Copies of this chain bind each other. A is one copy, B any other.
Amino acid sequence: MTGRKLGSADIAALLRREISKGTYRLHDRLPASRQMADEYGVARNTLREALAQLEVEGYVNTRAGSGTYITFQEKETNVAPLEDTNPLELIDARFALEPHICRLCVLHGSRQDFDLLEGLCDRMEEAVDDPVAFAEADTAFHKALAATTRNTLLIWIIDQINTVRSLDEWTRMRHLTLDGAIIKKYNAQHRQVLNAIRLREPERAANLMKEHLETARLSLTRAAET
């Protein structure tokens, strides 16, 4: 996997990301082409082709004899810090958010909301043997809970969190923790939470959600130890 030869398209993608990430900023001069080629372990030709592509896309502007300069103003948004977070931090954040979200669900939820959540529970139960499908339904469930609060801000926050959660190696790690037994336990807990919400018992719902998250935290730390 790692030994693969890089092509100009790969380098272009790499640099695009560096620029977006802020490693290189507007008006900065990139290192000399020979040096960059060396750093990335690629021929200068290849690197030059990557830069040419980026120039077409408007990321950079290169002047003979002088250098290559960034000409790209990243829209000031903000997925960057999110990428530095880790699964345990995520669980803590969910500990903060989701129990209270349950309380708000009790306040603002309607029959339709609950039926929708019920449907997602069904989907999760059908997916006991398919961690990928389960994870998808699980995400949808927690998103639907947020939506039930009718609180734009909370919905947005949960959305952001889910974006992170779906990235990169997380998923792999996540699936490590998802065997059939765990999934069954999660399913039972989801049902309990939903029932408490249906019965309009905010504190019980919140507490059940805490239990659920505690379970998730446990299986996560356990997976991390192996």
Complex CA gap A90/B154 in Å reads 8
> Chain A: interface secondary structure?
helix
Complex CA gap A159/B85 in Å reads 15
Q: Name the interface residues of A88-134: CB closer than 8 Å to any CB of B.
A: 89-90, 92-93, 95-97, 99-101, 104, 129-130, 132
Contact A154–B93 (Cβ < 8 Å): yes
Contact A9–B32 (Cβ < 8 Å): no
Residue count of chain A within 8 Å CB distance of chain B: 62
Residue from the list B29, B93, B151 in contact with A93, Cβ < 8 A: B151
In the complex, A186 has a CB within 8 A of chain B: no
Known interface pairs A13-B27, A93-B154, A130-B1; A22-B100 also in contact (CB < 8 Å): no
Add 12 more A-B contacts to A9-B28, A21-B166 (CB < 8 A): A1-B31, A1-B129, A7-B67, A9-B67, A17-B132, A77-B79, A78-B160, A85-B152, A89-B154, A90-B153, A96-B97, A96-B104
